[in-house]
């Protein structure tokens, strides 16, 4: 894990909020939101639904999601023309353990 990259990603309030929303996607994204519940990628939310909730431009939303993904905090899956994102819970557990152990 690149902890510097992770903390850079988390240093932006909006990116942090995106992670919080994706913790409980059914609570934070309307029933009209596009969710990915296929096989091995349950809980993913479409970029368009994330953008709508965040009130950001498409390019800013994509940049924020890409940074969180590069940091290892999000996973993405492309299905057709749609890209879905969900939290990488394993990476978040590893980060929490590292903070508890080493900081």
Kindly report, residue by residue over 22-48, the tens digit of the pLDDT.
999 888 887 655 666 666 667 789 999
Q: Report the SS3 class of residue 60.
A: helix
Number of domains in the chain: 1
Token representation of residue 47: 């970029």
Name residue, tokens 């939290």. 87
Measured CA to CA, the distance from residue 24 to residue 55 in angstroms comes to: 19
Distance, C-alpha 72 to centroid of its chain: 9
CATH of the domain at 93: 1.10.10.10
The boundaries of the domain holding residue 12 are: 3-102
pTM over 0.75: yes
pLDDT in tens, 48-90: 999 999 999 999 999 999 999 999 999 999 888 889 999 999 9
């Amino acid at each position: 894990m690149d902890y510097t990259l992770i903390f850079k990603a988390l240093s932006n309030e909006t990116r942090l909020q995106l992670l919080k929303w994706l913790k409980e996607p059914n609570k934070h994204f309307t029933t009209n939101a596009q969710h990915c519940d296929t096989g091995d990628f349950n809980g993913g939310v479409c970029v368009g639904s994330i953008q709508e909730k965040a009130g950001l431009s498409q390019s800013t939303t994509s940049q924020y999601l890409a940074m969180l993904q590069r940091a290892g905090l999000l996973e993405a899956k492309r299905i057709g023309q749609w890209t879905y994102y969900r939290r990488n819970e394993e990476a978040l557990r590893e980060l929490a353990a590292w903070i508890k152990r080493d900081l």
